[in-house]
Structures are given as structure tokens and as C-alpha cells.
Structure 1
Amino acid sequence: MSKKETMHDYWFLPLENCSTLAEIGALWHDLLEERQMAPQNPVPHYQDAILQFAALCALPPQLKLGALLAYGSAFDVDLRLPLGLLHEAVLEADRPWPDAVAASVSDNGAMLALPGTDPWLGAFIAGRMAGLRETAVHDGVRPDDWTARFWDLFLEMACRHGDIGALRLALGHGADPLVLDGAAIAAAVADLELLACLLERDDERRPAILALAWRAAAAADKVDAFAWLAARGVQATRKGAPALAAAARHLALDAYDWLVAHGADPRAGGLLPAAAGSLDATMVERVLADGAGDPADAVPAFLAAFDSEPWELYAGEPRFFDLRVDMLALLLHHGVQPAADELAAVLRKAPGRRQVVQALLQRPDLAAPAAALLAAGLQAPTS
């Protein structure tokens, strides 16, 4: 398999030489640390590590499940995911407990057949497994449901890592590119070969996948993907409004310009709130100059300015308070404002918004009509 076809940094490969939990445990944490995939590393690295190990490691299923339950961090990944994938191994587990621990732990179910495992570690594993089963029963979720979710998450991870082999493995197990808000599709637009693989076996949902890919390409500023998608039937004019909004929300200026140049209409509605959600003045000025700003967009634009938290655009920005004040001032300067009763309702639903308005009222450049509107909104009853 070529480097293109597989993730080239599988952290778990040394574990495939192990035959007992003790051997795995001696290597587990150090291997994760070396690849910066331990629980303390940024999400989603640890979940990626667990998904990779559960699906791709060549160890026997029961040993994999035992390792995950013995050493996996339930605070950083939902262990019901690998349990769903490996539940067949659980069904085969029918090993009696050693006399030393049977009286204490037999209520947890059978012991996994893990030769050489310390009985108390086996008891810990069984207790964890029993707890996971109980939560599944309480939630009314079957193992098959967790198996399906496992492969959906695995598909998104494979697309994010550019691993075609893992992508095809997930699709072969029924992974759905359209779930998780199309996260797999959004990751695949970075590499059109991946996107082509997502379309290989899914003629029925092909239009939906293409539509999501078009919007994802706009958000990621992948202009080269537009021609590829257009050749497969996506029309810029028909899918223009959602794509323009995605580009504006993510400050994808090249994608925005391409879409407008190819017939997407900025006046279609919904574009101004998306631009306001970026909290970027240049983006808002651009869409207003292009004709965005339907009166119906006033309240959504205000809400976006009040509540948007575009962390991916402002890495390290601890608060967005000043940006919110500036954005609302810009909207008001361009005549974008809700009616007084609409503003009062917006402020009533979230008291924190009132602090933004109070700061806005202190600006010397605020026009008198806008100041009167804001003051009226603040004076309206809060309940």
C-alpha cells in the first residue's frame, strides 16, 4: 500500500508484537506520548488513536478490547464506540472468574479470555464493561448503533488524515458521509481523490454529498474544488446562497469572489448574518457592497454579532466582547437594525447581550437614532 493510501504514522504497530495485557500496558502510554496522541494532547488526537487501534490493530479482538478497557481514558473518548465495534468478542467471552475474585466481581458478567491477566485487572475490565453496557441499556442504544457511530467517526478521521485505505474500510462497513453534519465531506474537500472515493458507491445520495462538498469547499476556500464539483453537476447559481454564506462566515475571500463571479447572488438572503458571524468588518463591508442586507436579515445579523464565537478565525482570542461592539456599530452605521420590539426580545433572551449594548452606547460615533433604539431595548422589561 502506498503512503498515499494509508496513514503513515500508526502509533500502535509495536503493540502487535504483544501477547498479553501486561506487555501492552508497558508500551501503551509511551507510544501515545511519542505520537502526541495522549489524552492531554489536543482533541481529536486521542480519539483518533483509539479509533485507529480498535479498527486497524492486528491484535485479537478480545485482547484489543481488554487493552482499551484497561488503559483507555473514558474522560477523553466514549469507550462505548470500541465496545460496539468489538462486541462480538464480548459475546464470545465465557470464562469463569478465578476463585480469588469470583465472590466480589461475578455480578459484572463473564471475564474476557485474556490469558496471563492479573485477576484484579480482569475484574476492573469487567466492571468497566458492565458499566458501559448499563449506560447503553439505560439510553436504549444497541451495540449495532455504537458500531455504526464508530465507523462514521472513523470515516471522518480517515478523510482528515488523507487515508484512502481507511476511508474505503469505513465505507465498506456502512459509514455514512452525510452524518456528523457532513464532517467527512468537509475534511475530504482538501483532497479531491478522497472526495471521489466518497462518491464511488453512493449514487443515491450523490446529489446530497456534492451539495455538502460545494459548501465545504467554500468554507475552506478551496477554489480548485469548484471546477471539479461543477464538472459533476453542481451549479454555482443553484447552490450559491449556502456556499456564499459559508465563505463569508469563514473569511474565505477567494471562494467568495469566485462564487460571485460565477453567478451566485449575494442578495439571496442569509449572507449578512453569516458575514456578521465572522466578526470581521472587511467581510461585512464586502457583502453589503455586493447588495446583501435584506431587512429580514437584521435580527439574525444582530444575533450573530452578539453570539458568534469564531475561534478558528481568531486563535488565542480570549474574548470577543470588543469585536462584538465593533460589529454592531458597523451594522448600525449601515442602517442594519431590528425594530425596537425585536431588539428588546433579543436582549431579553440573553442578559449578557445587554453589556455589549451598554458598551456600544458609550461610543462617540454612534448616531442618535441608533442610540435611541439601543436605549429603548435596554429599558424594555426583562421578563
Structure 2
Amino acid sequence: MSDLRWYLPLERCDTLDDIRGQWHALLEQSQMAPWHNAPRYQDAMLSFLGAARLAPALKLAAVLACGSAFDVDFRLAVGLLKEEIDELEVAWPEAVAAAVSDNGPALPLATQDPWLGAFVAGRLAGLRETFGHDGTRAEHWRAAFWNRYLEMACRHADSEGVALALGHGADPCADAHAAILTPARGVHGYFLPESGHLTPERSNADYQGILLQLLAGGLARAEMLSAALPAAAAVDNTGMLDFLLAQEADLRADGAPALAAAAGSMATAALAWLLAHGADVHADDGAALVAAVGSLDQATVEMLLAAGADLQAVASRAVRSALVSRPYELYSDESDLVDQRAEMLAFLLRQGLRPGDADIAYALEQDRDAGRVLDAAAASAA
């Protein structure tokens, strides 16, 4: 069974009590409980809410009763299912109706635990109240749900999930193109966001199929390519770059962000691929060279210089980047990276660049260790 379908045994349940009896064990079995991995738990809740074949009232009750509000935003669940719940027009108990009925009807809920029923009702009333306080409507959260569901389905190369989300109006360009970025990274996107959990076994072809599915669902080709090129380049996925080129990517016109992404990530295979296929090393005022300096990797800078990049044209930005850059995501070293910055600055000094007074003042203001970097670089370059 796919982890995303962890909930399938729950579809045979008729009551909240039946669901509670299996909920945590099923999540534990799939290693999707919140104490295992918060992003995987969020995926589990999205998948359950969006795809489980249960009555809407029972789905919402299950999440409110069993879910962890610390690890998933319950407004997504209420926004997704509010319209269907409201149609049921269940009255609140007379004792509390005056306080909560203005926010919508009660949730039909049968449980042998009266305290649980009160807990779920209270959660629902409180969440509905937030819609008024934060100025959003349930429709906003329903749209947000399907956008997040789409990103999750793309990340898992789940074509059924992608079709489901698109059918509910999900926007592939929402959340800074999140649904495009994850498949664009393909097999080089090794980890789920903010976690160390490996994604299920997939191939570049699986993720390419997802991108094609997004195109078939109405995503503009130019929009897909502009978002996907830098994402694939940053993770050194030349196989995905081949695919994007076959999809009519214009590297002369649109390759600059990809070139900068590869240079800033020390993705040397992608960098060489982009240069060989016509990406302009001078585009965006030499952004790729400045990004390479910021990576603190001399070999990457030398690749661009050999391709014709003009160091003098970006002198001030390059010096400032060398002085203050701290790309911890590229280095396992958790130090201040003074030695790496000094080595890069010394390299620039050997190329004839000299920090101006404004560059030094900027660096000293931005980074407390900039003075040490300057001293170490001067000694190394001497």
C-alpha cells in the first residue's frame, strides 16, 4: 500500500469511535505519525482529507478528534469541508447555540464518549471563529487546501492525486510555483521539505510525466519552463534539463536564472550543460558569476571565467558577496566560514580586484566577521 493511502482501512468505518481505534496504529505503521516526521504527517492529513471515501462530516470529525493541531493547520480541513457540513443544517444544543450558531451549524457526530463530542464541537466552533477574526473566508482555505494537495501529489509523482487536485481548481503556480518545483527537481530532489526522510523510489520519467500532466491541465508552457529550469539546474539534474529543452525551453532567452541557480549551488554538471546549450554567461548583469562567488567555490567561478564571464564587470558585487556570504546549505561545516570566504576573496584579489571603501563598509555592517575575512584574505593573497 502506498503511504499516501494509509487511510484505506478507515474507509470501512461507520463511526468516529471505529476510526479512533485504528487511526494512530495506521499512521505508526506507515511511519507518518507526527513524532516520526512532521512533513510526512502533513502529507498524511492532506491525503486523508482530499481522497478518503468517507462522509465529509466523519472525515472532519476524525481530523478534529485525532489530529495534531501543532503539526497541521486545521483551517484547511474546515475550509475544505465547511460547505458540505453546513448543508446538513444540524442544530447546536440549546445551551450553547447563542454563542456559536452564528458561525454555522453543528457537526453531526455520534460517539460513545461525550467528552470527545464536546472536544470536537469546541474545536469546530473555534476554527470557524478564526475565519472572521483573520479576515479570510472558508473559500480561501479550500483553495489553499487543494494547492497544497497538488504540491504533495507532484512531490510523490502521484498522477491520480494531481488529477484530483486539478479537478478541484488547484493552481500549479500558487505558493511560488511549489507544484512545479518539486517534479522539476526530479530524482535529485532527494528529501521531503524540512525533513530527512527519503522520497519513495521514483524516476525522472515519473516526474516528467507529472509536468506533462500539469501542462495538459492548463498550465502555460512558458510558465512551467521558467519555474522548472532553475529548479532542475540547482540540483544538478541534467536529465531533467534535457527534458525541458525538448519541451522548447529557450536557454538564450530564459537560461539566466538557471545558470545563476546552478552556479550558486555548485551544480557543476548543470552549469556545464547550460553553457554548452547556449545559456548566456553575461545575462542579468553577470548574475551567475556573482552567485558562483557566493557559493565560495573557486572551481565554479573558474568555470564561468573560462566561459567568458567578466569579473571586472561585477567587481563590487563579487567582492561584497565573498566578504559576507554564508551558504551553510552547501557546507557541512557549521563554522563561520571565515576560511572559505577568505580563500574566495584572496582568489579575487589575485585576479586584480580590490575592495573599495564602500564594499568594506558594507561588509563590516553586514557581517561581524568581515574584518577577519579581509585580514585572512590579504595574508593569503600576499
* Residue 259 of structure 2 is aligned to residue 244 of structure 1: yes
For 2:208, the aligned partner's letter is L
- 1:245 is aligned with what amino acid? A
- Distance in 1 (CA, whole Å) between partners of 2:314 and 2:378 is 28
Question: Which residue does the alignment assign to 1:231?
Answer: 246
Question: How has the CA–CA distance of structure 1 residues 364 and 222 changed in structure 2, closer, same or farther, with 3 Å as cutoff?
Answer: closer
Deviations 1:147-194 (A, max 9, x none): 111111111111110111111111111111112222211222322111
Corresponding residue SS for 2:253:
coil
Amino acid at match of 1:124: F
* Pairing 1:287–2:317 present: no
Q: Post-superposition shift, 1:89? A: 3.2
- Preserved CA contact (<8 Å) 1:20 1:117: no
**Contact 1:62–1:112, Cα closer than 8 Å, also in 2:** yes
Amino acid at match of 2:280: D
Identity %: 45
The equivalent residue for 1:271 is 288
Shift of 1:250: 2.5
Match of 2:209 among 193, 203, 212: 193
Residues 60-139 of structure 1 mapped to structure 2, 5 A cutoff: 60-97=55-92, 103=95, 107-109=99-101, 110-116=105-111, 118-139=113-134
| 1:51 aligned residue | 46
* Runs of 5+ unmatched residues, structure 1: 369-383
Asked if the contact 2:43/2:152 (under 8 Å) is kept, the reply is yes
Aligned with residue 324 of structure 2, among 283, 301, 306: 306
Where 1:44 maps in the other structure, the secondary structure is helix
> Offset at 1:300?
6.3
2:316 counterpart letter in structure 1: A
Contact 1:272-1:301 at 8 Å conserved across structures: no
| 1:104–1:279 CA distance, 2 compared to 1 (3 A) | farther
* CA RMSD, Structure 1 to Structure 2 (Å): 2.8
Q: Provide the C-alpha distance between the structure 2 equivalents of 1:187 and 1:251, rounded to a whole number of angstroms.
A: 19
Shift of 1:356: 4.2
Match of 2:360 among 327, 339, 343: 343
Which runs of 5 or more residues in structure 2 are unaligned? Answer: 187-206
Structure 1 residue 145 corresponds to structure 2 residue 137? no
Q: Does residue 371 of structure 2 align to residue 357 of structure 1? A: yes
Report the equivalent of 1:34.
29
Normalising by structure 1, what TM-score? 0.82
| 1:256–1:136 Cα change, 3 Å | same
Q: 2 CA distance for matches of 1:345 and 1:69?
A: 51
Count of residues in Structure 1 that have an aligned counterpart in Structure 2: 354
Find the residue that maps to 2:35 and give its secondary structure.
coil
Is contact 1:321–1:356 with CA below 8 Å preserved after alignment?
no
Q: TM-score, normalised by structure 2?
A: 0.82
The offset of 1:330, in angstroms, is: 4.1
Q: Structure 1 residues 270 and 11 mapped into 2: Cα distance closer, same or farther (>3 Å)?
A: same
Deviations 1:243-286 (A, max 9, x none): 11111222222211111111112222101232234343332332
Moved more, 335-344 or 214-223: 335-344
CA displacement, residues 16-64 of structure 1 (integer Å, 9 cap, x when unaligned): 1222222222222222222221222334211111110100111111111
> Counterparts of 1:148 and 1:137 in 2: how far apart (Å)?
17
In structure 2, what is the equivalent of residue 380 of structure 1?
A: none
